């Protein structure tokens, strides 16, 4: 049961952190991203150094190809973070929630295209529903909801790369941020020198929040890593919708973003696809469990 609570806490924090990133309305998203990378790296190095004797062996399987994978993963997650930070402070929280709602279905499409995986009929229905929802919203907006699509594909691509990565989640994130930390630090030094940097100029509270960005990035990740070890992935698959649901509710009821009936219809089509996707997953797992039990009793 404790594992489920870890998962609920992780996804709830990821959703609620939307409020945290809204606290930088006057800081450019690129600078917030730079601080998030730098201070996350500091926190991760401290954690790994404190338990180095236990974690040292996890780095031994790492090869040049593995480092390359983490460099790509780092690039994708930084793009995802930057897009989300920009969206939160430009009145696009609802659109960003759509991106994370459709991410699992984008993952399925990537599995078909890249990994040559086969889909069941209901999975095809779920994917078709997601694309129909996006098409409807494109018509309703008068333009492609690009922030949602970009968030979904950047995070979906990140997940695809991580699927082939050899390190555990914490060590992997440390390597990803290690690849990014020098460019991020160089950028922050540059904007500080030319006078456009917000750090040490926007007030003590803003400085403290920027430094704390590392901790708020790592805490839900640690909770998630604990949850994955303790509960089945099928449960994690259900819990993952907590985060975009919270984002959606915050966008509508806290940020007071406009949400029309036409937009509701588009979201409803996507939600229908997610329900189909979830029910199909439950049915498939039950069938697999029954087959294993029959094999054991045969």
d(CA 198, CA 28): 8
Number of domains observed in the structure of the chain = 1
pLDDT for the residue numbered 250: 96
CB 152 within 8 A of CB 84: no
pLDDT for the residue numbered 235: 73
If DSSP codes are grouped into helix, strand and coil, which group holds residue 126?
helix
Residue 207 clears pLDDT 80, i.e. is over it: yes
pLDDT for the residue numbered 246: 95
If DSSP codes are grouped into helix, strand and coil, which group holds residue 1?
coil
Which structural domain range is residue 118 located in?
Answer: 2-297
Mean pLDDT computed over 20-36: 95
Percent of the chain at pLDDT > 70 equals 96
The structure's pTM equals 0.89
Mean pLDDT, the chain, rounded, equals 89
């Amino acid at each position: 049961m404790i594992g489920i609570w870890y998962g609920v806490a992780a996804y709830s924090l990821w959703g609620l952190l939307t409020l945290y990133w809204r606290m930088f309305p006057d800081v450019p998203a690129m600078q917030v991203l730079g601080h998030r990378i730098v201070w996350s790296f500091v926190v991760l190095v401290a954690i790994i150094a404190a338990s180095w004797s236990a974690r040292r062996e996890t780095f031994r399987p790492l090869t040049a190809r593995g480092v390359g994978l983490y460099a790509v993963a780092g690039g994708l997650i930084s793009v995802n973070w930057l897009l989300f930070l920009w969206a939160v402070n430009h009145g696009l929280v609802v659109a960003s929630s759509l991106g994370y709602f459709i991410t699992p279905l984008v993952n399925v499409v990537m599995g078909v295209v890249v990994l040559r995986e086969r889909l069941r009929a209901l999975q095809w229905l779920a994917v078709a529903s997601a694309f129909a929802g996006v098409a409807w919203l494109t018509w309703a907006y008068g333009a492609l909801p690009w922030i949602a699509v970009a968030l979904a594909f950047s995070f979906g691509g990140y997940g695809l790369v991580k699927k082939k990565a050899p390190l555990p989640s914490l060590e992997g994130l440390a390597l990803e941020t290690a690849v990014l930390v020098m460019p991020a630090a160089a950028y922050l030094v540059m904007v500080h020198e030319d006078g456009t940097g917000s750090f040490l100029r926007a007030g003590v509270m803003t400085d403290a929040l920027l430094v704390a960005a590392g901790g708020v990035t790592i805490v839900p990740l640690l909770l998630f890593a604990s949850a994955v070890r303790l509960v089945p992935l099928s449960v994690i698959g259900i819990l993952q919708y907590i985060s975009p649901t919270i984002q959606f509710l915050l966008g509508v009821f806290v940020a007071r973003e406009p949400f029309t009936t036409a937009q509701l219809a588009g979201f409803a089509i996507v939600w229908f696809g997610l329900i189909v996707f979830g029910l199909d997953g439950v049915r498939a797992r039950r069938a697999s469990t029954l087959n294993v039990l029959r094999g054991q009793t045969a």
